[in-house]
Amino acid sequence: MSLEEIWEKSLSLIEKKVGVNLFELWFKPIKLVQLKEQNASMEIPNRFYKEWIEDYYPNLMSDALGGVVGHPVTIKFKIAEKVDAELKKMDARLEGRKQRLANKGIHLNPKYTFENFITGPSNQFAHAAAVAVADSPGMSYNPLFVYGGVGLGKTHLITAIGNIIADKRREFNILYVSAEQFTNEVVAAVRHGKTEELKGKYRNLDLLLIDDIQFIENKNATQEELFHTINTLYERQKQIVLSSDRPPKEIKAITDRLRSRFSMGLIADIQPPELELRMAIIQKKAEIEKIKLTENVVAFLATKIKTNIRELEGCLIRLGAHTSLTGSPIDVDMARDVLKDIISDDERPVTVENILKVVSEFYGIKCQEMKSKKRTREIALPRQVAMYLSKQCTDASLNDIGKNFGGKDHATVIYACKQMEEKRAKDEDFDRKVQGLINRIKT
């Protein structure tokens, strides 16, 4: 097969995976320029392509190519455009660092540092906990359990702990794995009778970072191994850091004793980012990548993309790629046009029903229960929260709000609002939760 034929076939595999729109935009402009045994060299228009593909589809091209030629392939990108000298230096520095750590068996994304992590009320708590753990691993919170929705910075934050400890404590034995990878290792070790080796690997660490721990639900052997790993490390005062898309009590299919281990140190949540934080993140990222943005464009992006920071960055990279290809500056009209398949212009109005749904999900109760006459604390608090949020986030009158809660009168709603305001002022943790709910409702 010629180079062209190989690439042609790979491209059609890629197109099937990502769909025609993303394919046309990101993959079609790529050329395969060389293939020597395992090593492929690709030419791409500019560095945003590299960044976007590495972020969203890190293995797609090598898998496709490998599938066509019948053996594994490693890809190197060559950027067609002349790259800004400073950016080139930065990339080389990051690549060097990544390689140095990889040689020690530590696989950490070098970009995920505390320096690059912007804080606001929604993530401040988790950030502070991570910094404390990085400062005195094994001595402050153990395990540290970070949870939050998709694309809110969990991986970034726990990786930052690894990055800083790798720098400051060179003798430390550090391991970062996804829970999926850990599971695969356990399964393989059991199958090949190599559980002792696995124990040797995981129980002699100074720092163990496991990402997306919710993955071990229903996986009994993995849970068993993890339980003993955590115990051993904990007893030796070695630091454990876990991330999850939900809190321990909502990871249902795990053993109680493991859940209690998860909850033994500190549980820190990351809530969806507030507007100011979204703007700050865009600005920082644009600055790093040397993308010129006006205030208007920053505000436009931050108001259109509300929950997922990865998506926010994805938009920025797409704009960077576009302006780099066309040479035209980024303004709001251009942004709207380039991102039209990602952002929609229809703003959904917030309704009381909507709020009931979000709040009941959050507290793990039924919507119906908030409308009932039940006065138990498990129901009363969520009900008051939902009333308060209905007042805050909709135009509904007090009477209308009351009606939505099983025919309460407006005085009950006023009372709930007052209670909630007082509680927010007094109780920081509660305040953060309410703010998180508001962010969720407004998306």
- Residues near ligand ADP (CB under 6 A): 112, 116-118, 123, 148, 150-156, 281, 309-310, 313
263 and 434 Cβ atoms separated by less than 8 Å: no
CB closer to ligand ADP out of 394 and 439 = 439
CB closer to Mg ion out of 154 and 383 = 154
CB of 52 to ligand ADP, least distance (A): 11
CB of 391 to ligand ADP, least distance (A): 30
238 three-state secondary structure: coil
Q: Beta 207-211 vs 174-178: how paired, if at all?
A: parallel
CB of 291 to ligand ADP, least distance (A): 15
The verdict on 155 binding Mg ion (CB under 5 A) reads yes
Q: Which does 117 bind (CB under 5 to 8 A by kind): Mg ion, ligand ADP, none?
A: ligand ADP
Q: Which does 27 bind (CB under 5 to 8 A by kind): ligand ADP, Mg ion, none?
A: none
185 and 222 Cβ atoms separated by less than 8 Å: no
**Binding window for Mg ion (CB under 5 A); candidates: 135-143, 155-163, 344-352, 376-384:** 155-163
CB of 385 to ligand ADP, least distance (A): 25
Nearest to Mg ion by Cβ — which residue?
155
Distance between CA atoms of residues 356 and 99, nearest Å: 49
CB of 254 to ligand ADP, least distance (A): 20
Torsion of CA 70, 74, 79, 80, to 10 degrees: -30
Q: Which residue has the tokens 């992590």?
A: 117
The residues that bridge with 36 in the sheet, in sequence order, are 39
CB closer to ligand ADP out of 225 and 269 = 269
**Binding window for Mg ion (CB under 5 A); candidates: 76-84, 149-157, 182-190, 297-305:** 149-157
Q: Find all residues with CB under 8 Å of 213, minimum gap 6, and list them.
A: 179, 242, 243, 244, 251, 262
CB closer to ligand ADP out of 185 and 274 = 274
CB of 314 to Mg ion, least distance (A): 15
CB of 2 to ligand ADP, least distance (A): 37
Distance between CA atoms of residues 106 and 112, nearest Å: 14
CB closer to Mg ion out of 142 and 214 = 214
Q: Which of 298, 268, 275, 299 is nearest to 286 (CA)?
A: 298
142 and 242 Cβ atoms separated by less than 8 Å: no
Distance between CA atoms of residues 148 and 146, nearest Å: 7
Q: Which residue has the tokens 């080139």?
A: 88
Q: Which does 116 bind (CB under 5 to 8 A by kind): Mg ion, ligand ADP, none?
A: ligand ADP
Q: Which does 128 bind (CB under 5 to 8 A by kind): ligand ADP, Mg ion, none?
A: none
CB closer to ligand ADP out of 155 and 163 = 155
Q: Which does 151 bind (CB under 5 to 8 A by kind): ligand ADP, Mg ion, none?
A: ligand ADP
CB closer to Mg ion out of 179 and 358 = 179
103 three-state secondary structure: helix
How many Cα atoms are found within 13 Å in the side-chain-facing hemisphere of 328? 9
CB closer to Mg ion out of 310 and 442 = 310
What does the radius of gyration of the chain's CA atoms come to, in whole angstroms?
Answer: 25
Q: Degrees (nearest 5) of the Cα angle 9, 83, 341? A: 55
Residues that bind Mg ion (CB under 5 A): 154-155
